[in-house]
Chains A and B, each alone.
Chain A
Amino acid sequence: MSEIKTVGVVGSGTMGTGIAIVVARAGLRTIVLDAKQEALDHAREQAAAFLAKSVARGKLAPGQDEAIMAQWQGTTRMEDLAGCDLIIEAVFEDLKVKHDLFARLDKVCPAHTIFASNTSTISITEIAGGSARDDRVVGMHFCLPAQLMKLVEMSPGLNTSDDTFRKAWSFCQAIGQKPVETRDTPGFILNYFLIPWHNDVINMVDQGIAEPADIDLAVKTALGYPLGPLELLDMVGMDTQKLLSDAMYGLTHESRAACPPLVKRMIGAGRLGRKTGAGFHVYGDNKIFGA
């Protein structure tokens, strides 16, 4: 049984919203922090739509969606996270941003609060180094779309205590996720492979080897993947892919991790993916996946 009862999620973007759905769905009090009220409103709206769809599909009982959303509280005030046992950050992939966040949270939260990072590329040890409580920081990388995918890559930093890791692991299992322990290396397992793979696909489009629809069709048909790589990239967003690539390339200097020029052009054109209605494909709406 997990000792964690109240969870803070910082950042209400695609990942933060998905993680908050998972936590609230497990019956835990969930406090979502974002600097912008409109971002919180949007996240709440998307979560409610996703859960309503789950009811319509018979995956939740009627009324359960409302009960889950009753566990969900949005806030723009960091002080509201003071009662959290665990805080999961899902903010920009920038070490300084994460250091600033955890340093401020350290002043607000009690000593027992565990800080978790949903980072997909940055070293947990480095993030923990700016937290003022590096023995209580753990990597907890959810997969996109978090509300549907079970895997969580769990990484201890060099100074993470066994007790912290055990509690975080138990929490992960308690909310119905499947934790896998990974080493604190760039990209852990998933993104070490996924970021270069996505860059390869983007370069393939840029080089005119095939159209996006044909590439997605080929991958899904031949390999049995549930999503085509360009469909998945449209969910990730070009802005995020650039951040991930820049972070990964900065750490590994592997050529396949370098951000492709087409990503920068698509960002310039406002073609970020599903969130703007167009990326490699064109979308009729910007609903969260599964809603």
Chain B
Amino acid sequence: MSYQIIQRGESLSFPDPHPFIDTASSMGDGVVLIGGEAGQAWRRGVEAAEGKSFIAIELDTECLGVHTGEDEGPVNVVGFARFRLGDDAPTGLVELVRKPYTDPDAVQAARAAFEAAGLVVAVCNDFPGRILNRLVRPYYNAALRRLDEGLATASDMDQTLCLGLGYPEGPISLLNRTGLHHHYRVTQALYEALGQEAYVPARRAQVAWARRQRDAA
């Protein structure tokens, strides 16, 4: 499966060299738009993408429908993001986003391209937070809130979850290591999209975000 890479802005999914980028060609059956402005770039060049087996647009916290439309749209366009937590490097997981009208062949072609580069693909429909952020953010918020409420120390909470469930790292350690302000940014976006209390950024994340903003000013 050959594909062309078009980069517009800084990519959260591919900030560093990766076999997926290295094996791209200047012309290909597919098109992969990466970077923070990937969606806008696709909207500006819709006609050029016609006839491609797939077009994959890198997503941040937004839904694919923001770029393609909700009830109908191009059948060969998918969204994608490599899951990453804050300052950590992107993981090997690609969340591949489809719309109800997306052609299964386009999903399969995009999947094949990512998997050929050693990435693992999980397919999901177009909902805020996709799979991972939708699931982990309320859990991380709850851990931060319970830490404030004195349920246990941070290390006891982390140790219990690691020992009891086999997690490689507890939530408090993970969030502190990867940047609480990142948790705020993603969670706030989900709260705005979903309006559910569980996504309201926890106090500690709000503090981290405020300090980050102050330091950047």
Contact = CB atoms under 8 A, between A and B. Distances in A.
B124 A225 contact: no
Nearest to A177: B163
A226 interface: yes
Interface in B129-173: 130-132, 134-136, 138-139, 142-143, 146, 151-152, 156-157, 159-161, 163-169
Contact of B120 (A181, A200, A221, A255): A221
A11 B125 CA distance: 42
B20 interface: no
A207 B127 contact: yes
Interface in A212-227: 214-215, 217-219, 221-227
B198 interface: yes
Interface in A187-219: 189-190, 192-194, 196-197, 200-201, 204, 207-211, 214-215, 217-219
Given A149-B164, A221-B92, A193 B142 contact: yes
Interface in B75-95: 83, 91-93, 95
B49 interface: no
Contact of B160 (A180, A185, A215): A180
Interface in A34-83: none
Given A180-B160, A193-B142, A221-B92, A226 B166 contact: yes
Contact of A221 (B91, B134, B142, B164): B91
Most A C-beta atoms less than 10 A away, residue of B131, B136, B143? B131
Given A183-B151, A193-B143, A255-B197, A223 B163 contact: no
Q: Which of A143, A208, A222 has the most CB of B within 10 A?
A: A222
B122 A218 contact: yes
Contact of A222 (B93, B138, B157, B167): B93
B166 A149 contact: yes
Contact of A204 (B83, B120, B135, B169): B135
Contacts of B93: 217-218, 221-222
Contact of A224 (B130, B152, B168): B168
B123 interface: yes
Contacts of B165: 143, 190, 194, 225, 232
Given A149-B163, A180-B159, A226-B166, A189 B124 contact: no
A178 interface: yes
B131 A210 contact: yes
A178 B130 CA distance: 36
Interface residues of B, number: 38
Nearest to B146: A192
B157 A189 contact: yes
A178 B161 CA distance: 12
Interface size class of chain A, counting residues whose CB lies under 8 Å from the partner chain: 35 or more
Contacts of B139: 193, 196-197, 200
A19 B125 CA distance: 40
Given A185-B151, A189-B152, A222 B123 contact: no
A204 B123 contact: no
A200 B159 CA distance: 23
B152 A218 contact: no
Nearest to A143: B164
B160 A153 contact: yes
A150 interface: yes
Interface centre among A181, A193, A194 (most CB of B within 10 A): A193
Contacts of A211: 123
Contacts of B135: 197, 200-201, 204, 215, 219, 229
B124 A210 contact: yes
A201 to B, nearest CB: 6
13 contacts: A143-B163, A180-B156, A182-B151, A194-B165, A196-B142, A197-B135, A201-B135, A204-B135, A210-B125, A214-B124, A217-B120, A217-B122, A221-B93
Given A180-B156, A190-B164, A217-B93, 17 more contacts: A151-B160, A180-B163, A182-B151, A182-B160, A183-B151, A192-B142, A196-B138, A200-B134, A200-B138, A209-B130, A218-B93, A218-B124, A221-B122, A222-B92, A222-B132, A225-B166, A225-B167
Interface of A: 143, 149-151, 153, 178, 180-183, 185, 189-190, 192-194, 196-197, 200-201, 204, 207-211, 214-215, 217-219, 221-227, 229, 232, 255-256
